[in-house]
Amino acid sequence: MPRTTSFKGMPLELAGPELKVGDPAPDFDAVDKSLQPISLESTSGVRVFSVVPSLDTPVCDMQTKKFNDEAGKLPNIGFYTISVDLPFAQNRWCNSFGVDNVKMISDHKFASFGENYGTLIKDWRVESRAIFVIDKDNKIQHVEYVPEVAEHPDYDTALAKAKELAG
């Protein structure tokens, strides 16, 4: 049976596995907002991967701004927003809102983050909403696949786990 998420009650099929706490964090091939390659191996330390469908939607906008604010208070934790938005759109959005503490990852070219982390909505070729907290040893320590794309994730639980891991 395929894994699904929903958008306003409409089921949408997800590609990739359902990762769990304790699983090794999969590698991925993507680009940052400057078109430079980025992968799991090019990141380090405690990381929060905040996955959103598109920055130009209200919940994604709020989610990214929330983590940007937290990243400003927690410089020992790496915060990343992953979407299939083009790097140019990510850059424009960040500049429009003064978002500079969260690093942007565009999964547009290969969709390998979505396929490897189980967040790619196949028919729409966008990411489903999710949060992953990865430790310094590249193990998943928190995962939340938000069942309804239009709803917010549990920010507090993800942030508490990241803070605990970072000491």
pLDDT value at residue 122: 87
Q: Which CATH number fits domain 22-166: 3.30.365.10, 3.40.50.970, 1.10.3720.10, 3.40.30.10?
A: 3.40.30.10
The mean pLDDT value for 90-99 works out to 96
The residues with which 80 forms a beta bridge, in sequence order, are 49, 103
Q: What pTM, to 2 d.p., does this model score?
A: 0.96
Q: Name the residues annotated as catalytic.
A: 60
In this structure, what token pair is assigned to residue 143?
């995962």
pLDDT value at residue 63: 97
Which DSSP letter does residue 124 get? T
What phi, psi does 21 have (nearest 5°)?
-55, 135
In the chain, where the domains are located: 22-166
The mean pLDDT value for 60-72 works out to 96
Distance CA 122, CA 159 (A): 29
Mean pLDDT for the chain overall: 96
